[in-house]
Amino acid sequence: MATWNFDPSSYEEKDFAIIPAGDHRVRISDVEEKVSKSGNEMYEVTFEVSGHSSRLWFYLVLDRNDPKKTNQRIGEFFDSFGITDHNLGSGKQWIGKVGAVRVKHEEYMGNTSAKVAFVINRKGQDKLPPAKFSGTAAPAAGVFQPANVAAEDLPF
């Protein structure tokens, strides 16, 4: 059994209020490769939402039976987030990119939840206010970040 000395002073109650329906700037905070219920490869993309503490999830499904629709959806995603490297890879290289989405509300078992209706293209983002994110996203792949490594851990 694990042991832990819980420190109640370190606990902070967080309010994850529902994100209002409408257009919002978002930043990619995580990407995971998954398989959809129908067996298609997909990316589960986690968004931080400007001005809100709640998160949204977007599913970029790679449907080999409908390449036209899949390419359209990938193109819209890339356009919204200014992604110019069309190599899908793991998707981790998208972390930190900022784009925009339209949020809709859905009812499920008596509860209202916010969902991504669609991504908004670059031209459609001009009317949105500048992004204000509360946290910091992990850096995009290829961005230099200093490492905290002790001298005795260096191989040279």
Cβ contact 74:89 at 8 Å:
no
pTM of the prediction? 0.76
In this structure, is residue 25 part of a structural domain? yes
Percent of the chain at pLDDT > 90 equals: 69
- CATH number, domain of 109, equals 2.40.50
Residue 153 falls inside a structural domain: no
Which among 51, 138, 128 is positioned nearest to 97, based on CA atoms?
A: 138
pLDDT digits (tens, 9 = 90+) for 95-125: 999 999 999 999 988 999 999 999 999 999 9
Q: Could you tell me if residue 140 is inside a domain? A: no
Q: How many structural domains comprise the chain?
A: 1
Which domain range does residue 74 map to? 15-125
Residue 156 lies in a domain: no
pLDDT of residue 14: 64
- Nearest to 135, CA basis, from 62, 69, 79, 51: 51
Tell whether 154 is covered by a domain: no
* Alpha helix (H) residue ranges in the chain: 67-81
